[in-house]
A and B are shown apart, each in its own frame.
Chain A
Amino acid sequence: MSAIHELTQKNRPGVGLTVAHTAALVGLVLGTGAVMQWVVGPAAGIYPATILRQIGIVAIAAVSLNIVNGYTGQFSIGHAGFVAIGAYAGGAVSFYANSLGWVGAYDPAGLLTPGHAVMLAGAAIGAGAAGAAGYMVGLPSLRLRGDYLAIVTLGFGEIVRVLFQQTQSQVFDPQAARALPISGWWPPPLGGAQGFSSVIPYGELFWIYAALALTVVWCYRLKFSSSGRAFLSIREDEIAARAMGVNLTRYKVRAFVLAAALAGLGGAFYAHLNLAVQPKDAGFQKSFELIIIVVLGGLGSISGVLLAAFGLGGLTEWLRQPTSVWPAALVALALVGVVQAVRRDIDSRARGRAMGRALLVIGVLTGLFEGLRAFAAWQGFKLDDIRIVLYALALISVMLLRPQGLLGTSELWLVPGQLMRRKAKAAAAPSLRTAGPADPAAAPATGVGGMGGGVTEAGGDEGWP
């Protein structure tokens, strides 16, 4: 019996803890939905609420893509394919359930009508279908790495797009739908090249944000678990991970299946918000937009990706009516000034340099943006039209200047601790620099020779083999 097994058997907790965790999960999911539905939504107004719903769906897709591209370090550029599968499945289930007369007419006031139940079932089916597709895409990832895997996922997205183009035309007439024999449902009547439309609008803020909360909590639990560490180890070094007993097959496929299923979930809500799905939604353009979010936020960071999704979503809206950025630049500069002033780990000279750098960066960015705004006004085009171009530039700049993205693999709540540690290290820098393995004086204390003490200490520990 392994030590881990013995320890596990010895310290097995009761069901209470699981119940508590599950209650917290359900509370968080419903709470997020409720706050968005009844507090944020009404306060924001109808149009911003619609934008918030769109951003919520994009966030689900991006956070799920992060499992494959961020944690596991595989590079999928066909994620929109999974979103589209979920969208088609979810949209079709609630549309045909409605036309077959299984649920009543849409009631805009209700949040938990029979129609919603069907919508949720459709979302589950969409997630399942996307997960199954994820399994098929995950299998090649066993043999292919990096660029090659990227191509295969790209090819997958394109195949999904063409397959949806090949479906039969949508049956709009409820009578005809009811009269359709079993064989008439294959190939599925999903609208072909025209796309699938007239989906019932069940995509309320409540449900979208409940789904987002579920996705985020699950991704959080996954990241900080043994499975999550297995994903991360594959990203860091496949050979070492394998040698340490990580079953690459299982974990790569697991990452793909989970990411695809969550993307499918998001896709089902996309169908109920957008009310129509096109084969184009599976194309690589859509996947690239998700990749931008994940890379900008930080490959592997849940909070970073959320920030990027909401940040870019807000930015897109703002670009429709761009205002001057001077005030924001001044505020940012003031903030940097305050932070630099209270820092204690650097002397006044370094502080001055840091301020100078901040001034330069903020100044250049402000100048560039104001110039662009003026140019757009002169040329008579809207910045909104060139937003993807701007994002692409941002993507390249991030790769050149800060390849780890906004937060790297870290999380928002871990950043203060990391900064503190860096500070402590900077304070201890003179001694650390010499405390390497080459320092004979330090070796007995911190080097290999220090092991004896450790063994003695650990020797008294319980559960020592």
Chain B
Amino acid sequence: MGTLFDATFFDTMIASVAVGSLYALIALGYTMVYGILKFINFAHSDVFVLGAWTAFTTTTALIAWTGLSAAGAPWWLGPIVLGVAMVVCGVTAFCIERFAYRPLRKAPRLNVLITAIGVSLLLQNFNQLPPAPGLARTATVSFPFGPTPKTMPELLPDVILNESIIATGTLGGGERRGQVLLDRAVTVLPGRTYRLDVTRQTEAGPVVARFNLNNPPVGEVQAGTPLVTQPLRPPAEMQGLAYVLVQVPAVTIRLVDVAIVGTAAVLMVGLLWLVFRTRLGAAMRAVSFSIENAALMGVNVNFVISFTFVLGACLAAAAGFLYPIKYPSLQQPASDVWVLLGLKAFVAAVVGGIGNIRGAVLGGFLIAFIEFFGETYLSATIGSGLQDIYVFTTLILVLLLRPAGLLGTPVREKV
């Protein structure tokens, strides 16, 4: 493994930050509702799953209906999908609050908890219902979403941001089995990864194919000398080829990760601004302090509570949209895998100190760090596939040692 701060470390770090920011987004929804109503909205993780589902369905539907190619989605598709997911989740959350939670606002906490579990079960199992034949418009769009695994279309090209082009090449040598000639001298270093991108002009536009170079000759490669031999192709495809030699960095920073962290950061900063700098945010904080007092001060409590639910749902929808962009091959049904992701975000909210907005963000990153670093560094000694155990053990430890969470304030029950 070499030094501590090697490539493995940074890869784990990047994955933790990306997934952590998603946990944080979901955890914010848990924590805001808890802050205001003092109860854990168990159904929130299912709203997140609904968001992922809606994102998937909208993407496939848009691609199917507009006849776009699944490979190269235009840039505006993402924001549209995100918006649709947010609207669907927001409306769902509004209905949940209005019809399931509001009538119970004065009921014992246990009743609300059971209702929340009921709502969670309802959403979870509704999402998994097989699509009703009469309701499904096309084969790609189904409602409900059904139990069969599906793969998210690629919304962002898989681009590594910090890779560098070290040479371009031309086709040399024979007619059918050409060789790649570089335009400048290149030093091939041992232990590094090199990739050859081959661009071919077709009628539909340029098509890029990527080849990882397995064991290229180490050492100096002069300009004009053949680097590798082009694989066998039909003669028609030998025309108009352009080669690019790319040195892949040891630690790759991918566009997906940057997009996820960037979107999440924008949303989180926006939320902080909303909560701490606007009138509405002041109303939210007032309701969180005391519903009765806020009502006396003229705050429209019902509106604020509904708004909080919708806001939390929008953040969860964003997470539900971003997660499959990073992990498109993750099976898409609202199965245990997805619900478990929501649960980990829930753990993050509790560990950070539920009811505390900064705590949710902290907890989100912390849980992701524990999950990824635990899996990377402890799998050799303890065993692999134990990340859930690390997460839930952390939860139990934090609750035992600091029941109010890391940033939460303990509440003393009045006797």
Residues of chain A touching chain B, judged by Cβ–Cβ distance below 8 Å, are 73, 75, 77, 140, 143-144, 146-148, 150-152, 154-156, 158-159, 162-163, 165-166, 239, 280, 283-285, 288, 291-292, 295, 378-381, 385-386, 388-389, 391-393, 395-396, 399-400, 403
Interface bits B116-143 vs A (CB < 8 Å: 1, else 0): 0111111001100110111100000000
Q: Which residues of B lie under 8 Å from residue A285 when comparing CB positions?
A: 336
* Interface core residue of A152, A154, A392, A395 (most chain B CB under 10 Å): A392
Given contacts A154-B343, A381-B129, 15 further A-B contacts (CB under 8 A): A73-B110, A144-B400, A146-B110, A151-B395, A151-B399, A158-B343, A159-B392, A159-B393, A162-B389, A166-B385, A284-B339, A292-B118, A380-B134, A399-B111, A403-B107
Given contacts A159-B388, A239-B415, A378-B134, contact A399 B118 (CB under 8 A): yes
How far apart are the CA atoms of A379 and B136 in the complex, in Å?
10
Q: Which residues of B lie under 8 Å from residue A288 when comparing CB positions?
A: 117, 120-121
- Does B386 sit at the interface, judged by CB under 8 A? yes
Residues of chain B touching chain A, judged by Cβ–Cβ distance below 8 Å, are 39-40, 100, 103-104, 107-115, 117-122, 125-126, 129-130, 132-135, 336, 339-340, 343, 346-347, 350, 383, 385-386, 388-389, 392-393, 395-396, 399-400, 403, 413, 415
How far apart are the CA atoms of A327 and B410 in the complex, in Å?
57
Q: Which residues of A lie under 8 Å from residue B119 when comparing CB positions?
A: 392, 396
- In contact, B40 and A159 (Cβ under 8 angstroms): no
- In contact, B111 and A403 (Cβ under 8 angstroms): yes
- In contact, A400 and B130 (Cβ under 8 angstroms): no
- In contact, B133 and A380 (Cβ under 8 angstroms): yes
Q: Which residues of A lie under 8 Å from residue B132 when comparing CB positions?
A: 379-381
- In contact, A151 and B347 (Cβ under 8 angstroms): yes
Residue of B with least CB distance to A151 = B350
A396: contacting residue among B115, B339, B343, B350, CB under 8 A? B115
Q: Which residues of A lie under 8 Å from residue B135 when comparing CB positions?
A: 379
A75: contacting residue among B113, B336, B350, CB under 8 A? B113
Within the complex, what minimum Cβ distance (angstroms) separates A191 from chain B? 15
Within the complex, what minimum Cβ distance (angstroms) separates B25 from chain A? 19
Given contacts A146-B110, A380-B132, contact A392 B118 (CB under 8 A): yes
Q: Which residues of A lie under 8 Å from residue B346 when comparing CB positions?
A: 151
Q: Which residues of A lie under 8 Å from residue B111 when comparing CB positions?
A: 399, 403
Within the complex, what minimum Cβ distance (angstroms) separates A352 from chain B? 28
How far apart are the CA atoms of A156 and B399 in the complex, in Å?
13
Q: Which residues of B lie under 8 Å from residue A166 when comparing CB positions?
A: 383, 385-386
How far apart are the CA atoms of A30 and B216 in the complex, in Å?
77
Q: Which residues of A lie under 8 Å from residue B107 when comparing CB positions?
A: 399, 403
- In contact, A152 and B395 (Cβ under 8 angstroms): yes
How far apart are the CA atoms of A144 and B395 in the complex, in Å?
12
* Interface core residue of B108, B114, B400 (most chain A CB under 10 Å): B114
Q: Which residues of A lie under 8 Å from residue B130 when comparing CB positions?
A: 381, 385
Within the complex, what minimum Cβ distance (angstroms) separates A150 from chain B? 6
Within the complex, what minimum Cβ distance (angstroms) separates B217 from chain A? 43
Given contacts A140-B396, A392-B119, A395-B118, contact A146 B385 (CB under 8 A): no
How far apart are the CA atoms of A385 and B109 in the complex, in Å?
31
Within the complex, what minimum Cβ distance (angstroms) separates B174 from chain A? 52
How far apart are the CA atoms of A381 and B39 in the complex, in Å?
36
- In contact, A155 and B110 (Cβ under 8 angstroms): no
Which 8 A-B residue pairings sit nearest by Cβ, starting from the closest? A155-B392, A395-B118, A392-B122, A392-B121, A396-B118, A388-B125, A379-B132, A399-B115
Q: Which residues of A lie under 8 Å from residue B413 when comparing CB positions?
A: 239
How far apart are the CA atoms of A226 and B157 in the complex, in Å?
68
- In contact, A400 and B115 (Cβ under 8 angstroms): yes
Q: Which residues of B lie under 8 Å from residue A381 when comparing CB positions?
A: 129-130, 132-133
Residue of A with least CB distance to B387 = A162
B109: contacting residue among A144, A146, A391, A395, CB under 8 A? A146
* A–B Cβ pairs within 8 angstroms, 13 of them: A75-B113, A166-B386, A288-B120, A379-B133, A379-B134, A381-B129, A381-B133, A388-B121, A395-B117, A396-B100, A399-B112, A400-B100, A400-B103
A283: contacting residue among B40, B109, B336, CB under 8 A? B336
Q: Which residues of A lie under 8 Å from residue B110 when comparing CB positions?
A: 73, 75, 146
How far apart are the CA atoms of A159 and B115 in the complex, in Å?
25
How far apart are the CA atoms of A133 and B312 in the complex, in Å?
36
How far apart are the CA atoms of A174 and B267 in the complex, in Å?
59
- In contact, A148 and B117 (Cβ under 8 angstroms): no
Given contacts A155-B347, A158-B340, A389-B129, contact A147 B385 (CB under 8 A): no
How far apart are the CA atoms of A216 and B223 in the complex, in Å?
86
Within the complex, what minimum Cβ distance (angstroms) separates B210 from chain A? 34
- In contact, B121 and A148 (Cβ under 8 angstroms): no
Within the complex, what minimum Cβ distance (angstroms) separates A286 from chain B? 11
Within the complex, what minimum Cβ distance (angstroms) separates A384 from chain B? 12
Residue of B with least CB distance to A136 = B396
- In contact, A148 and B100 (Cβ under 8 angstroms): no
How far apart are the CA atoms of A173 and B295 in the complex, in Å?
71
How far apart are the CA atoms of A380 and B107 in the complex, in Å?
40
Within the complex, what minimum Cβ distance (angstroms) separates B3 from chain A? 30
A163: contacting residue among B125, B126, B336, B389, CB under 8 A? B389
How far apart are the CA atoms of A155 and B388 in the complex, in Å?
9
- In contact, A396 and B122 (Cβ under 8 angstroms): yes
